[in-house]
Amino acid sequence: YAYLIFLFAVVFTGVAVLGLGLGYKYLRKPEKVVRVGVVSQLLIHPLKSGRAVSVALVECQKIGLKFGEMQDRRVHWLVVTEDGHMVTGRQEPRLVLVSLTCEGGQVCLNGPNMEELRFPVKQPDNPVIDCRSVFRSDIQGRDCGEEASQWLTRYLGAEKTFRLVHFEPQMRARRPVEKEPLFPQYEQVAYTDIAPVMLLSDASVKDLSSRLGKDVTVDRFRPNIVVGDCEAFDEVCWQQEAHLKMTFLSHADSCMFTTVDPETGIMNRKEPLETLKSYRLCKPSEKHIYKSSPLFGQLHTVKKTGILQVGDVVYKISR
């Protein structure tokens, strides 16, 4: 089995010679390996704001998680208006009920009370559209054709016309560091809000459910890797300068999208945000980063590529 491992890095301080000497001595210490949980679910999101696809195995790539012809958060699909503005579940909550899968070179779209639509993944003769994506950043996408546009426009039932675009590997990506200084210069994403991978624990979601007095599922928060067999919010303690297969970048701050029920497509604009704000706000020293958004989950980049499976053990490696 492949293992998802978190290695706590050392932050070096002090004058040059002394700091380097102490650091060298520290790095020579034996590694301490501690089992912290088990991968309980792997979820990919081929369509931005669309229904999650649960899989048993993924390939962890630098740009995100990949399963067959479906890839999460970079090489995937995005709904836009005719003038190229991104459309997500914040504007159209019923997008969360749309399922996009891909097999044999064909894309398959499904939604409530809609006939299934199939069309080719590759449509090289279709135009490339300049899209206005997250953080008001420009990004590209290849138009998926009139049938896909008509299907989405009919499903969403709005007066405006919607189009579906597909990000291709050769297209210009964007760098999160331009808007988020916590991110490395070399990291690139396309349609995702910030990071290639989000991690969350089952226990943290169960803790939230107990406070709400009703069950919520992990799907509401759109994680990629869900970890079980650990205590609520243990994942927060794994991120101190985390390294190795997954590199911690920041806490995931929850937005209005989390108030959309993934089973009904209805947005209540209140919960679970209000409850999360009662106990999951950042430290005062971090307010310049997260402001008043509650923190739920961890954002990561992939440092070491490989295969990850449901059931794999999660280790924390420290020195």
**Residue 27 maps to a domain:** no
Backbone φ and ψ of 53, nearest 5°:
-110, 120
Nearest to 121 by CA among 89, 140, 148: 148
pLDDT at 134: 57
**Residue 24 maps to a domain:** no
DSSP string, 1-51: ---EEEEE-----SSHHHHHHHHHHHHTSPPEEEEEEEEEEEEE-SBTTS-
**Residue 64 maps to a domain:** yes
DSSP letter at 281? P
The number of beta carbons lying within 10 Å of the beta carbon of residue 223 is 26
The domain in which residue 134 lies consists of 32-318
B/e letters for 246-271, b = 16+ CB within 10 Å, e = fewer, are bbbbbbbbbeebbbbbbeebebeeeb
Alpha carbon 95 to its chain's center: 16
**Residue 282 maps to a domain:** yes
Number of domains in the chain: 1
pLDDT at 51: 95
**Residue 272 maps to a domain:** yes
Which residue numbers in the chain have pLDDT < 70? 1-29, 31, 69-75, 133-137, 173-194, 239-251, 317, 319
Dihedral (CA of 43, 261, 195, 208) sign: negative
pLDDT at 188: 58
pLDDT at 180: 60
**Residue 261 maps to a domain:** yes
pLDDT tens across 172-207, in order? 766 654 566 565 556 655 566 667 788 999 999 999
**Residue 5 maps to a domain:** no
**Residue 12 maps to a domain:** no
pLDDT at 189: 58
Check: pTM over 0.75? Answer yes or no. yes
Alpha carbon 201 to its chain's center: 14
pLDDT at 184: 59
C-alpha R_g of the chain: 20
pLDDT at 87: 93
